[in-house]
Chain A
Amino acid sequence: MNVIDARQLVKRYGANAALDGFDLQVPPGRIVGLIGSNGSGKTTALKAILGLTTLDSGELVINGLSPWANRARLMEDVAYIPDTGILPRWMRVSDLVDYVAGVHTRFDRARAEAMLARTDINASRPVRVLSKGMQVQLHLALIMAINAKLLVLDEPTLGLDVLFREQFYDTLLNDYFEGERSILITTHEVREIEHVLTDVVFIARGKSRLAASIDDIRQQYTKLTLTSGTTPPEGFFGRRQTLAGVECIYRDIPREVLAGVGAVSVPDLVELFVAIMEAPHA
């Protein structure tokens, strides 16, 4: 059974469709990157998955539950870190740990305290005096101490410096990701998370434009780099002019065929995203 099973989700705000037939399937044990530009429908999709908004139509099942109807039950198995600090700024760190321990049956207090002990966070201080990086560390410590089946991260490292971002994903991979747990991440810093993803979904105008595993992408997509003046072979769906020449993205074309024309490589996610977004029927 998929942890997330979303089919043909539609959510309209007046005349605008934030989701317009969006599909997403996440099996257990996967780390999925949901990638899209601003206004593409990422946040609406996440809110629907977390039971924070209704849908106009479509089918959405998270861990076997309808999220809107069963948000409280759903949150026993789903953890969430959003794009900006949402921890209550007036609360002391120790009170926050007490609160989560008080309402969450799957919260491992000892684990949270052990994680906090590895940071510079003083448990007697209120959240508002912590730096942004510390607040993310605190939130991560709380969330990672919850034995959840699905972790939803919405731009979790926004505004953090490079070191914190690296540390965040290292902790996530080394201390959290195991067994049947799944993670759904949205971020603008696609290159930073590329190495941690097992799957990727591109979303544009409320629709899924690509849903594939990283392994499949590496097999199916090819980037061909040509020097200026060279004509690329037919069949590419993305083309970008660079200072050195031209880069074209091909799908399902054997690399041996392209190798004789120019330099062949696997496109990174940003290159693939740009190519697919610019090609209406890719």
Chain B
Amino acid sequence: MHNLITLVNREWQEHRNTFLFPPAIILALIVIAVLLGVMLGEKVKVQIELENERDTSPSTFQQFDRRPAAGSYRVAAHEGQYSEPRATHVAQYNTASTLSELADADVGKLPRILDELNHPFFLVLILVSLSAAISVTYDERKDRSILFWKSMPVDDTETVLAKFFFVSWIAPLATVAAVVFARLLLAGVASVYSDELELGEVWGNAQVWSGFFGVITGFLTLGLWVAPIYAWLMLVGALVPRSPTLIALLSPLVVMWLEWLLFDSTYLLGFVTSHITPKTLYSGNSGFTGQLELLLSANFGIGLAVAALFLAMTIYARRRFNEI
């Protein structure tokens, strides 16, 4: 265990910039966008008045509960800068559910916006992790430091598993921290600057909180789901003397082409693309079910078996091949 911590720490020291800078840059862009939005954005207040057909006296939106009684309503919305009316829109709604949707719209939008926020982070994380998966086994051979690592009493199995653990679960921690921070920031700004959203509506919203946990479980699942791809890249890095990225990309393409040519099948293509782009893992709120479905799927089991095979081959390759 002590060795594992030392080995993972070593990987972090070598690759920390790779995993820190991209999420930091995305986070900085989001912060800048939010600040610009807060400082420069025009604040528009919309007041909605509702008139029941049977009772024509107007009442403001807030007088209703989130679920007003069923019936036919006439809706008048006054749009303007702060309290000064600028325009009036009038529409006829026949059911209370429509009103209810209107009322819930602002709070309902927030978790979706927060989920959208995950995508750039996780996409960049996957790209960075794929690149790191090659370099954790290739760079040490290229700079000959593998001879130093091998002069220490650490066996290859321990080393390769530490590298895999690092790429799958430790390195993404910076991204997860950035995602959580960005979500907190947006939710905080929304609760402070939105007249329609009150503090309790944001922070008391279960979907907002489940989104945070969805991000964490999503990244844990991501490490397992992308494992066969990570393991493949680590194997190539430990095996080939040069151009590992090219070989890692081209060789599966050749196999895919042969599969298509000989069997008229695209199974490998589907396997690889599904394991690189697991969209359900990016979203927080809607992701729990998707994550569970992924973990229970046959594709997941096959992926783990493939990952185990590639990792075993990586251990063998690291043992056998030294510097380039």
Contact = CB atoms under 8 A, between A and B. Distances in A.
Contacts of B150: 50, 52, 71, 75
B10 A84 contact: no
B10 A90 contact: no
Contacts of A90: 13-14
Contacts of A53: 322
B145 A103 contact: no
B148 interface: yes
A280 B148 CA distance: 38
Contacts, number: 72
Given A86-B145, A89-B143, A99 B151 contact: no
A88 B148 contact: yes
Contacts of B320: 54
A102 B143 CA distance: 22
Q: Interface size bucket, B side?
A: 20 to 34
| Interface size of A as a range | 20 to 34
Interface in A66-88: 71-76, 79-80, 82, 84-88
A100 interface: yes
B155 interface: yes
Contacts of B147: 52, 80, 82, 86
B322 A71 contact: no
A125 interface: no
Interface in A60-119: 71-76, 79-80, 82, 84-92, 95, 98-100, 102-105
Nearest to A73: B153
Contact of B322 (A52, A88, A92, A98): A52
Nearest to B149: A88
A72 B156 CA distance: 8
Interface in B267-324: 319-320, 322-323
B67 interface: no
B6 A102 contact: yes
A71 B13 contact: no
Given A99-B6, A102-B2, A79 B14 contact: no
Contacts of B323: 86
B43 interface: no
B11 to A, nearest CB: 11
A88 B145 contact: yes
B152 interface: yes
Interface of B: 2-3, 5-7, 9-10, 13-14, 140, 143-148, 150-155, 158, 319-320, 322-323
19 contacts: A47-B322, A52-B147, A54-B320, A71-B150, A71-B319, A73-B153, A75-B150, A75-B153, A79-B151, A80-B151, A82-B147, A86-B323, A91-B10, A99-B9, A102-B5, A102-B6, A103-B3, A103-B154, A104-B152
Given A50-B150, A103-B154, 4 more contacts: A50-B151, A52-B150, A86-B147, A104-B152
